[in-house]
Structure 1
Amino acid sequence: MKILITGATGFLGKNVAAQLRNMGYQDIYAYTRESTMEDLEHYTKECEFVFHFAGVNRTTNTEDFKIDNSGLTESLVRLLQTNGNKAPILFSSSIQVNNNSPYAESKRFSEMLLHSHSEINKSSVLIYRLPNLFGKWSKPNYNSVVSTFCYNIARGKPIHIHDEERIVTLNYIDDVVGEFISALNYIKDEKCDYYVVPKTYRISLQKLADKIKEFKRNRETLIMPSLASGFDRALYATYLSYIENDKFSYQLKKQTDERGWLAEFIKSESMGQFFISKTGKGITRGNHWHHTKVEKFLVIKGEAIIKFRQVGIDQNIEYKVIGEKPEVVDVPAGYAHSIENIGEDELITLFWASEIFNPEKTDTYYMEV
């Protein structure tokens, strides 16, 4: 299928084009700000489907709305009709279409043009009225409040909230892309209809800002906020996409002693914490037990003996593990445990504990295995 995307390098267009290519679509006509009207004339002769995303959301010159929004729509339908092309059109409109702004007026006029085109050209048209969108590649201070908050917070810049309790309705870009690409298969008639992306999220501006600030603090506290909800996972993915290119990495704090070193990696209020250690040859770690805290040990380099002894019972249990054969060893509550480097090289171990370490309530009691 030959697919025309207007606004192909914008937020929507770039994401849709990328996923179409992932799915094997090769003939994509990308109409951008650098394209000419001659390009559009050629594309409208050949295309079999149109994603019409081009336009402006914000501008200091209100005439831009007429030129880049309704004006381009007018050119698009005129050329399709001139070329006798009945390709279906999917148009990205806005839930703001009924307000009195110049932007809304341009969207209303575009919708009217597409309604007329559907009747005249006997072409299928889907008009999606979208709320605020968020996700990777969105332009801050332009496309979305989410992108603006993520961009500024990631860089330590202030954000401005005029109404903390104001609720915003959001669509995540991956949900929008999935909905739009499915339209390639289900447009079957010539009716012009309005549609929405079913999966939406609603959140106050203050709660939105608080969530993003928690993501930023993760590097300092190592505490990862809950990602149990689809919205939180989508928002975290969006936030990370706005980190500056030279700031993707960050240092962990190493605790070093005669045994080697240990560093906490990530913590969660609901899932405990991960940490990693390097242990020298012949060195033993542990020799303690817990009432409630449980752990998992995973040796990723070297050889080790992990020993256990149930409190009150004079009998040891041993597990020999090697990094080349990943094997997770559970540490039950009520068992003293230790891990000893028995190899010729350093021992690297990844640990998980069911609770974040609390120095005031360690639940850790010395007992040699």
Structure 2
Amino acid sequence: MSNVVLTGGRGFLGWHTRAALYEKGVDVSLVPVGTKFNLAEARRAVSGADRLIHLAGINRADDEQVKSGNQLFAKQMAEILLSVDNPPSTIVFANSTQAGNGSVYGQAKLVAGEILREAAEKVGAEFLDLRLPNLFGEHGRPFYNAVTATFCHILVEGEEPTVDTDKELTLLHAQDAADLLIGNRALENQESVEEHETVSGLLRRLQEIDSIYRRGEIPDVSAEFTRNLFNTYRSHSFMQRPEIPLIKHADERGSFSEIIRTHGGTGQTSFSTTVPGVLRGGHFHRRKVERFLVLSGNARIALRKMFTNEVLHFDVNGGEPIAIDMPTMWTHSIENTGSEILLTNFWTNDHFDPNNPDTIVEAV
């Protein structure tokens, strides 16, 4: 697979999917739908592509907009598939477990899926109807994408969320959903990466994460679900308070600063020396939890959220210890901006595995 077409590529799940495809070195073409749909441009993007992943949809609007919008997007994609000489061999639809449940949204998703299925059959393409449950993950929109994002936002703001209706949720991290969409994981294995939790249970987990992280500690992220929840929470806290001041203990012998405490897991702490003028890094991680701390010298740490242009810079030095977390799917680097050897400490939640490094090269 070398070329994938995405609709909804600038949305929450689209951002996650693009990060997963980037790791694979796959070229991605974004096709707008709705009022921004351009038939000629869409035909050029779709013809010859290996896979079309249809993510675009409407779930928050009045009933008529939900119904007509979801069907329109599917019809536009079907029109493209039927009009190109070389359609993709695989069509993937990001459907919902609500499809066919009797609601306006569920019926709209069901009909949209059938429109795409019929088009795929006509062009001889494989059709994958992925029924997604409640998604959560980094940079979800509070009060829109999912209750997880809403809880994280409220907790980071220092307020206390409430549970209006407690029920069991089926939760799927957006990176796992992305792996299903792009074929990294077989659809029959979807249940193995889903988690079942009540709304109140989810809130308790996030409250514990919030409490631990505010103390300057990393929660036990040895369980994948907890790690994914923590990275989700961290995406919100990073935007609110990216710098984490540390206590410096000093006397005539020198100084000491505790970097981090962890409640468990298989964390790895490392350090590096960097000569003046040298730049390290230039990569991002999809799942890894990582923290930088300059112990000696002067450095500039740079971060850029994937698929955006804004670069954040943090000028740090060993005289005033400041820890900077590297959010998942933010490319990052560190440069020695001083005249002396730079000594930097790194912490990550897992042991480095050369067979699965989770380190994707990308300049900041």
- TM-score tier (shorter): 0.5 to 0.7
Distance 1:112 1:33, change over 3 A: closer
Query: Distance in 2 between the 1:195 and 1:68 partners?
Result: 31
Match of 2:199? Answer: 205
TM-score normalized by the length of structure 2 = 0.64
The letter of the residue matching 2:66 is F
Work out whether residues 171 and 197 of structure 1, in 8 Å CA contact, stay in contact via their aligned partners in 2.
Answer: no
The letter of the residue matching 1:90 is V
Work out whether residues 6 and 55 of structure 2, in 8 Å CA contact, stay in contact via their aligned partners in 1.
Answer: yes
Match of 1:233? Answer: 227
Match of 1:250? Answer: 244
The letter of the residue matching 1:7 is G
Query: Distance in 2 between the 1:27 and 1:175 partners?
Result: 19
Please list the CA deviations of residues 91-115 of structure 1 after superposition, one character each: whole Å capped at 9, or x if unmatched. Answer: 0001111322211111010122123
**RMSD of aligned alpha carbons:** 3.3
Identity, in percent, stands at: 25
Query: Distance in 2 between the 1:222 and 1:243 partners?
Result: 12
5 Å matches for 1:96-135? 96-135=98-137
Please list the CA deviations of residues 209-235 of structure 1 after superposition, one character each: whole Å capped at 9, or x if unmatched. Answer: 122222222344344432221111111
Distance 1:84 1:228, change over 3 A: same
Please list the CA deviations of residues 99-141 of structure 1 after superposition, one character each: whole Å capped at 9, or x if unmatched. Answer: 2221111101012212322333322100000101111132221
Structure whose CA Rg is larger: 1
Distance 1:266 1:2, change over 3 A: closer
Query: Distance in 2 between the 1:173 and 1:195 partners?
Result: 15
Match of 1:83? Answer: 84
Query: Distance in 2 between the 1:241 and 1:34 partners?
Result: 31
Q: CA deviation at 1:176?
A: 1.7
Work out whether residues 57 and 142 of structure 1, in 8 Å CA contact, stay in contact via their aligned partners in 2.
Answer: no
- Segments of 5+ residues of structure 2 without an aligned counterpart are 268-294, 297-342, 346-364
5 Å matches for 1:281-360? none
Match of 2:69? Answer: 68
Distance 1:114 1:25, change over 3 A: same
- Segments of 5+ residues of structure 1 without an aligned counterpart are 187-192, 274-299, 302-347, 351-369
Q: CA deviation at 1:206?
A: 1.7
TM-score normalized by the length of structure 1 = 0.64
Work out whether residues 7 and 52 of structure 1, in 8 Å CA contact, stay in contact via their aligned partners in 2.
Answer: yes
Is the deviation greater in 147-156 or in 102-111? 147-156
Work out whether residues 44 and 76 of structure 1, in 8 Å CA contact, stay in contact via their aligned partners in 2.
Answer: no
Moved over 6 A (4+): none
Match of 1:167? Answer: 168
Work out whether residues 5 and 51 of structure 1, in 8 Å CA contact, stay in contact via their aligned partners in 2.
Answer: yes
* SS of residue matched to 1:98: coil
Match of 2:277? Answer: none
Query: Distance in 1 between the 2:33 and 2:158 partners?
Result: 33
Q: How many matched pairs?
A: 270
The letter of the residue matching 1:200 is E
Work out whether residues 135 and 174 of structure 2, in 8 Å CA contact, stay in contact via their aligned partners in 1.
Answer: yes
Distance 1:27 1:235, change over 3 A: closer
